[in-house]
C-alpha cells in the first residue's frame, strides 16, 4: 500500500476513535448527572412543594386582605397596607421584643452547656448516665414539659414557691401569673430543655480536640485557664457557631411551649412572633396580615443569619 494512503487511513481511524471516546465520556457524564438528579428529585420536589411555593404564596398574600374562609374570590390587593399596619402594631412590636429576650438566652444556654460538657468529660464518673439525664428534656414532649412546669411554678402551691418560702422569702414571684415574671419563666424552661442538645454537641467536639495540643501546652507550663482560652475555645469555635445559629432559629420557633404554658399572656407578656402570627391567622382569621408577619419573620432570620456568617470570619477557626 502507498505510504501516503496508509498514513491518511491511520489518521482518519485515530480521529474516528478519538471522537468515539469523547462521545463515550460525554454519555457517561450525562448518565452520572441524570442519576444524581434522580436521587435528589424527591427532596427537591418536597422542598419546592412544602417550602418554596408556600413562601411565594405567603409573599403574594401579604399584599392582600384575604380571609381564607371566604375563598379566593374575596381576595383584594391592598398594597403595602399590611406592612404599614405592622410597623404601628404595638402587640407585634411587643412580640419582637420578647423574641429578642429569648435570643439573649441562647448564649447563656451555650455557656452553661459548655461548662457542664467540660466537667462531665474530665471530672465526673458515670458520664454516660449524666449525658442521658441532661438529654432527656430535649427529647421529651414540649406539652408534657409545659404541664409539669405549670405545676412547679404555680403561684399558690407550686413546689418552687414552697421552697422559696421555706428559705424565708415571704412574697415569692407569681411566675406564670405575673406579667413581669412570665417571660423569665419561659426563658428558664427554654434553657433547661436546650442544655441537653448543646451539651452532647460540645462533648463530641471536645473529644475531637487533639490531645497533642494540651500536651504541648503542659510542656510550655500553660495553666488551666490558658489552655481553655487558647486551645479549647478556638477549637470549639465552629461548634459554637453552629449552636449559635441553631439556637437563635430555635428561639424564633418557640410556639408549643408558649401555647400550652401561657397562651401568650398574661397581657401578651410572653407573646412571640410565631404565636402572634398563629393568633392573627387562625383566631382573628386575618390571613393576609399573618402572611405579612411571616415574611417579616423570614427577613429577620435572613438578616441575623447573614450577620452571623459575616461575623464568624473574625472568630471561627476552621
Residues 79-128: pLDDT tens digits?
Answer: 899 999 999 999 999 999 999 999 988 999 999 999 999 888 887 677 77
Distance CA 189, CA 181 (A): 12
pTM of this structure: 0.81
Q: Is the pLDDT of residue 304 over 50?
A: yes
On whether residue 14 sits in a domain, the answer given is no
Domain extent at residue 56? 28-62
Distance CA 86, CA 29 (A): 52
Integer angstrom CA distances of residue 75 from 64, 68, 69, 81, 277? 7, 9, 11, 14, 19
Number of domains in the chain: 2
CATH number at residue 103: 1.10.3720.10
151 and 204 assigned to the same domain: yes
103 and 133 assigned to the same domain: yes
- pLDDT confidence of residue 111: 93
Facing residues of 77 across strands?
64
On whether residue 10 sits in a domain, the answer given is no
Facing residues of 64 across strands?
77
On whether residue 111 sits in a domain, the answer given is yes
Distance CA 290, CA 10 (A): 74
Q: Is the pLDDT of residue 5 over 60?
A: no
- pLDDT confidence of residue 16: 52
Q: Are 62 and 288 in contact (CB under 8 A)?
A: yes
Read off the pLDDT of each residue in 238-253 and give the average, rounded to a whole number.
89
Amino acid at each position: 500500500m502507498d505510504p501516503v494512503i496508509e498514513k491518511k487511513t491511520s489518521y482518519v481511524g485515530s480521529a474516528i476513535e478519538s471522537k468515539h471516546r469523547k462521545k463515550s465520556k460525554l454519555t457517561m457524564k450525562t448518565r452520572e448527572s441524570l442519576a444524581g438528579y434522580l436521587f435528589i428529585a424527591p427532596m427537591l420536589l418536597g422542598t419546592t412543594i412544602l417550602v418554596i411555593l408556600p413562601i411565594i404564596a405567603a409573599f403574594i398574600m401579604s399584599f392582600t386582605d384575604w380571609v381564607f374562609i371566604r375563598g379566593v374570590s374575596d381576595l383584594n390587593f391592598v398594597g403595602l397596607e399590611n406592612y404599614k399596619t405592622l410597623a404601628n402594631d404595638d402587640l407585634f412590636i411587643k412580640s419582637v421584643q420578647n423574641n429578642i429576650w429569648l435570643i439573649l438566652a441562647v448564649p447563656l444556654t451555650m455557656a452553661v452547656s459548655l461548662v457542664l460538657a467540660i466537667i462531665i468529660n474530665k471530672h465526673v464518673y458515670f458520664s454516660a448516665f449524666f449525658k442521658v439525664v441532661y438529654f432527656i428534656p430535649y427529647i421529651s414532649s414540649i406539652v408534657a414539659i409545659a404541664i409539669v412546669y405549670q405545676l412547679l411554678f404555680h403561684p399558690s402551691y407550686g413546689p418552687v414557691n414552697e421552697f422559696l418560702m421555706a428559705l424565708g422569702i415571704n412574697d415569692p414571684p407569681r411566675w406564670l401569673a405575673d406579667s413581669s415574671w412570665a417571660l423569665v419563666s419561659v426563658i428558664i424552661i427554654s434553657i433547661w430543655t436546650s442544655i441537653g442538645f448543646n451539651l452532647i454537641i460540645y462533648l463530641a467536639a471536645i473529644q475531637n480536640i487533639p490531645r497533642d495540643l494540651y500536651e504541648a501546652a503542659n510542656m510550655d507550663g500553660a495553666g488551666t485557664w490558658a489552655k481553655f482560652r487558647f486551645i479549647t475555645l478556638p477549637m470549639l469555635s465552629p461548634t459554637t457557631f453552629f449552636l449559635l445559629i441553631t439556637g437563635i432559629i430555635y428561639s424564633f420557633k418557640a410556639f408549643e411551649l408558649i401555647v400550652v404554658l401561657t397562651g401568650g399572656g398574661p397581657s401578651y407578656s410572653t407573646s412571640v412572633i410565631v404565636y402572634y402570627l398563629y393568633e392573627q391567622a387562625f383566631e382573628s382569621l386575618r390571613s393576609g396580615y399573618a402572611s405579612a408577619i411571616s415574611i417579616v419573620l423570614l427577613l429577620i432570620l435572613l438578616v441575623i443569619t447573614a450577620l452571623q456568617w459575616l461575623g464568624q470570619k473574625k472568630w471561627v477557626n476552621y
